[in-house]
Amino acid sequence: METPSPGTHWAFTVKAAKALKDEKFPGHVAPQFLFRMAQSVNLLPYVLGDHCAPIALPAERDASDAWQILDNYEIRRRGYLQTARRFRDINTKLSVVGNRKTLQERIDERGKLTKQTFGDNGFLLLVGAGGKHICATCIPVSDAADLIIDQTLYWQHIASEDTAWFYVGMLNSHAMTEAITPFNPRGEFGERHIHTLPYRLMPAFDETNKDHETISRLARSVARRAEVMIKKNDYLNDPSRRLSIRRSRLRTALRMTSDFQELEYHCASQLRVSR
């Protein structure tokens, strides 16, 4: 396993690399220390793309789904000498740059890794952390056993599939974007940090509400359409392309479908009712 470099398949994952951007750490890592990383660049409206990069971490989930951060001594003690050697080399470089925190300390800043315990059932709601247009999808927890969620995404565990898709439909809607725009702080480069704004405006899912069920059903249908569109379009399916353009093009294509138009109508109606 090697650190991605410009021009390689996974180069898009480290566009913002700073301290170690020119460093290489070739070597082997035992399978149990390899995970898939979900980043903002993977997230398009309604869909988490297939291009979640492999990432090696000195950590593992135990039988209760809790994270254990392992130091190099423990990794060596378990017999994974090449794995320990690679993490050691990384820590050697980190000891002379930035705040000199180890890899083990960095991967769990403010508990961002150890908080990622998803359980065995339900769905993960994934939402982009910035931009004018909210971007969201959901995936079954069963598909996230080896998934690490990067800091560029927000996540929430949702017990019910219907509830998860209701949120996906509401969050992706143009009506929601219009509703939060007056409250959305602007940075030097435009809108940023959506955070909790949408959750203050949209109603909680009510399984007895037919409109809520309709939104959930339509969101699933739109997601299936989006998946097909992405697979048929090389630009949309290329995470190295500009993310804002990929998202905008997919939204434009989806707006032409009847399911999306009906979904938009119901989302707008629910936001008017909840105000």
**Nearest C-alpha neighbor of 138 from the set 162, 168, 169:** 168
Q: What is the mean pLDDT of residues 37-57?
A: 94
For residues 82 and 28, give the distance between their C-alpha atoms in angstroms, rounded to a whole number.
6
pLDDT band at residue 16, thresholds of 50, 70 and 90?
low
Mean pLDDT, residues 232-239: 96
Distance CA 35, CA 215 (A): 33
Question: Does 194 have pLDDT greater than 60?
Answer: no
| pLDDT for the residue numbered 119 | 87
60-73 pLDDT, tens digit per residue, is: 998 888 999 999 99
253 versus 274: which is more confidently predicted? 253
Q: Residue 4, class by beta-carbon neighbours within 10 Å (0-12 exposed, 13-18 middle, 19+ buried)?
A: middle
Helix (H, G, I), strand (E, B) or coil at 190: strand
pLDDT for position 179: 86
The more confidently predicted of residues 114 and 13 is: 114
| Three-point CA angle 17, 20, 25, nearest 5° | 115
Question: What span, in angstroms and rounded, lies between the C-alpha atoms of 230 and 234?
Answer: 7
The pLDDT assigned to 19 comes to 63
pTM, to two decimals: 0.88
The first and second tokens of residue 261, run together, are 């138009």
